[in-house]
């Protein structure tokens, strides 16, 4: 039986990135696509329970059924598994995101929200992102890496409750040098809200900000991406800080 | 100078839980409250950048300024730090949530979204939640524990980028037995969407589900809560799965 992929993203079905992912997956197996109806960037792990969600079929071909959902990327995963997958998916794919989900961006990402949700549900899952947020971003360098990573994960599987966060450097830097398995770099967004006045004299605040990362050791995703490598970070949904657990016990005993 | 608290939640300003938190904080120091205008449960780490946000003042007393914001809990933290705090807050408090944020619930929680956001920004932060989602939940048993934990964190500080996820058992079980510092229990929500038909003959899907946890070893938050202890989990915003990093390197080298 063909492997079954469940595919989503947070940029919606119109995005070039998800179309690239679908075409890679169709070369390997059967595909269910459940994409959010609207751009859902920055929705992180949010989900919908206080109102119902809708699912609309877009197209149905042999081996590829496409739906859109008016919920979040996490909703896409939740509702698909129960109502729209003919069998348990072998692998969940999310992306390819237009824009970075490396480092601390993983926290805010709808693309990675879907991946972590799949992982919690016991499904193998990979999130793909390209460090170019433009609608016409060039995924041609990324595509063969997507295919080889997908084939490897299908073949070898992932440890339980571990997902992969894969990021691709800006294509303009030239051919990718290879794949680095690494840790999430420590960073933050330095926020800055612009305070403006609306036509009625009332203030509003609009988020700007710039990414600040001073943790670029060679074992980090930032280092890999800045040096032309594809970064792969194994991610967990266990937020326990094991490195500080004993310290906290001593401090607060 | 009095310690300065920045307080938010995801249940909105009307909730009994945040009022309890405010009254504890006011006994200790000065308070800025920035609560979401609407119930924002399940918004996780989502934030707003594609539209501006609004902030409205609610009340201003000596040592306590209260605002509401039409954004997410994460937005509340982001906008406060820059525009509404007279100085850097000494401690960010979120909650007290009506309902559990233990175990895997930390992933979906707006209350904990705010806490993790504060932590990424380098602020000490604590999320408090009670295992009772009813609007009239009884916080009287929790209140002295909130005060003592807040005082301890003010006194001793937290390691960099570590936040605390504090949960309180259902009060009906009787007096709490003490505090356990523990790890996040592994669990999942077994989703089940009810498929219904609307008055116009179109299907919609409404999320139900039940919590399933079979990881109740004595070092977990689930064990603590089921046995009458207050659970405290040190949380990180580094999603790298260090326990599987080497294994993934070997598998995918």
Q: What is the pLDDT of residues A42-96, one digit of tens each?
A: 899 999 998 999 999 999 999 999 999 999 999 999 999 889 999 999 999 999 9
Q: Do A83 and B193 touch (CB under 8 A)?
A: yes
- Inform me whether the pLDDT recorded for B91 exceeds 80: yes
- Return the structure tokens found at A13: 């079905």
pLDDT band at A209 (very low <50, low <70, confident <90, very high): confident
pLDDT band at A115 (very low <50, low <70, confident <90, very high): very high
Residue B158 is classified by DSSP as: -
Q: Do A184 and B53 touch (CB under 8 A)?
A: no
Residue A52's pLDDT is: 95
Average pLDDT over residues B226-239: 97
Provide, as residue numbers in chain B, all residues whose Cβ is less than 8 Å from the Cβ of A46.
42-46, 108
Provide, as residue numbers in chain B, all residues whose Cβ is less than 8 Å from the Cβ of A241.
159, 162, 234-236, 238
pLDDT digits (tens, 9 = 90+) for A214-251: 898 999 999 999 999 999 999 999 999 999 999 999 88
pLDDT digits (tens, 9 = 90+) for A15-48: 999 999 999 999 999 999 999 999 988 899 999 9
Residue B237's pLDDT is: 96
Instruction: List all residues 6 or more positions away from A119 whose beta carbon is below 8 Å from its beta carbon.
Output: A125, A161, A162, A163, A235, A237
pLDDT digits (tens, 9 = 90+) for B141-198: 999 999 999 999 999 999 999 999 999 999 887 899 999 999 999 988 887 899 999 9
Q: Is B44 left (phi over 0), alpha (psi -120 to 50) or beta?
A: left
Distance in Å, alpha carbon of A171 to nearest chain B alpha carbon: 23
**C-beta pairs of A58-66 under 8 Å, 24+ apart in sequence:** A58/A13, A58/A33, A63/A2, A63/A26, A63/A29, A63/A30, A63/A31, A64/A22, A64/A26, A64/A30, A64/A31, A64/A33, A65/A31, A65/A32, A65/A33, A66/A13, A66/A33, A66/A35
Burial B173-185 (b: 16+ CB within 10 A, else e): eeebeebbbbbbb
Distance in Å, alpha carbon of B206 to nearest chain A alpha carbon: 4
Residue A41's pLDDT is: 87
Residue A239's pLDDT is: 97
Distance in Å, alpha carbon of A245 to nearest chain B alpha carbon: 6
Residue A174's pLDDT is: 83
Asked if B146 and A201 touch (Cβ cutoff 8 Å), the reply is no
* Count of helix runs (H) and strand runs (E) in chain B: 6, 11
- Inform me whether the pLDDT recorded for A13 exceeds 90: yes
**Domains by residue range for chain B, with CATH:** 4-184+215-252 (3.40.1210.10)
Q: How many CB atoms lie within 10 A of CB B191?
A: 18
Q: Do A241 and B236 touch (CB under 8 A)?
A: yes
Q: Do A162 and B244 touch (CB under 8 A)?
A: yes
Sign of the alpha-carbon dihedral angle for B169, B173, B176, B181: negative
Q: Do B52 and A206 touch (CB under 8 A)?
A: yes
Cα–Cα dist B226/B214, whole Å: 13
Residue B192's pLDDT is: 86
Distance in Å, alpha carbon of B2 to nearest chain A alpha carbon: 23
Distance in Å, alpha carbon of B139 to nearest chain A alpha carbon: 22
Residue B68's pLDDT is: 98
- Exposure of B158 by Cβ count < 10 A (0-12 exposed, 13-18 middle, 19+ buried)? buried
Quote the mean pLDDT of chain B.
95
Residue (of B96, B100, B115, B113) closest to B48 by Cα position: B113
Q: Which of B47, B156, B248 sits opposite A251 (nearest CB)?
A: B156
Return the number of CB contacts < 8 Å for A and B.
Answer: 225
Residue (of A113, A191, A49) closest to B40 by Cα position: A49
* Residue of A198, A238, A242 to mutate, interface with B, max B Cβ within 10 Å: A238
Residue A95's pLDDT is: 96
pLDDT band at A173 (very low <50, low <70, confident <90, very high): confident
Q: Which of A46, A156, A205 sits opposite B43 (nearest CB)?
A: A46
pLDDT band at B2 (very low <50, low <70, confident <90, very high): very high
Q: Which of A181, A188, A207 sits opposite B248 (nearest CB)?
A: A181
Q: Which of A82, A183, A204 sits opposite B53 (nearest CB)?
A: A204
* Residue of B205, B222, B229, B242 to mutate, interface with A, max A Cβ within 10 Å: B205
Distance in Å, alpha carbon of B217 to nearest chain A alpha carbon: 15
Sign of the alpha-carbon dihedral angle for A234, A238, A36, A12: negative
Closest residue on chain A to B195 (Cα): A83
pTM (two decimals) = 0.95
Provide, as residue numbers in chain A, all residues whose Cβ is less than 8 Å from the Cβ of B53.
204-207
Residue A114's pLDDT is: 98
- Inform me whether the pLDDT recorded for A198 exceeds 90: yes
- Inform me whether the pLDDT recorded for B210 exceeds 90: no
- Return the structure tokens found at A91: 């692998």
Provide, as residue numbers in chain B, all residues whose Cβ is less than 8 Å from the Cβ of A244.
159, 162, 234, 236
Cα–Cα dist B164/A43, whole Å: 23
* Sheet with strand B125-130: strands edge to edge: B55-61, B64-69, B30-36, B4-8, B91-98, B125-130, B163-168, B230-235, B179-181
Residue A252's pLDDT is: 80
Provide, as residue numbers in chain B, all residues whose Cβ is less than 8 Å from the Cβ of A54.
202-205
Provide, as residue numbers in chain A, all residues whose Cβ is less than 8 Å from the Cβ of B159.
241, 244, 247-248
């Amino acid at each position: 039986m063909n492997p079954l992929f469940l595919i989503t993203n947070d940029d919606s079905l119109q995005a070039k990135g998800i179309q690239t992912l679908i075409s890679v997956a169709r070369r390997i197996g059967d595909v269910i696509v459940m994409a959010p109806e609207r751009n859902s960037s920055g929705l992180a792990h949010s989900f919908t329970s206080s109102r119902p969600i809708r699912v609309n079929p877009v197209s149905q071909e042999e081996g590829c059924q496409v739906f859109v959902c008016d919920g979040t990327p996490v909703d896409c995963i939740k509702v698909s598994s129960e109502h729209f997958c003919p069998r348990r998916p072998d692998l969940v794919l999310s992306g390819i995101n237009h824009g970075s989900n490396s480092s601390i961006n993983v926290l805010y990402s709808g693309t990675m929200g879907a991946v972590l949700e799949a992982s919690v549900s016991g499904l193998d899952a990979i999130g793909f992102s390209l460090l170019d947020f433009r609608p016409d971003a060039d995924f041609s360098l990324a595509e063969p890496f997507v295919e080889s990573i997908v084939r490897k994960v299908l073949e070898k599987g992932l440890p339980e409750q571990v997902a992969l966060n894969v990021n691709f450097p800006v294509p303009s830097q030239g051919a990718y040098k290879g794949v680095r398995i690494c840790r999430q770099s420590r960073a933050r967004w330095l926020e800055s809200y612009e305070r403006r006045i609306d036509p009625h004299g009332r203030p509003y605040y609009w988020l700007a900000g710039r990414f600040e990362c001073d943790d670029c050791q060679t074992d980090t995703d930032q280092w890999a991406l800045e040096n032309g490598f594809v970064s792969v970070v194994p991610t967990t949904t266990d937020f326990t800080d094991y490195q500080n657990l004993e310290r906290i016990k001593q401090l607060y005993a």
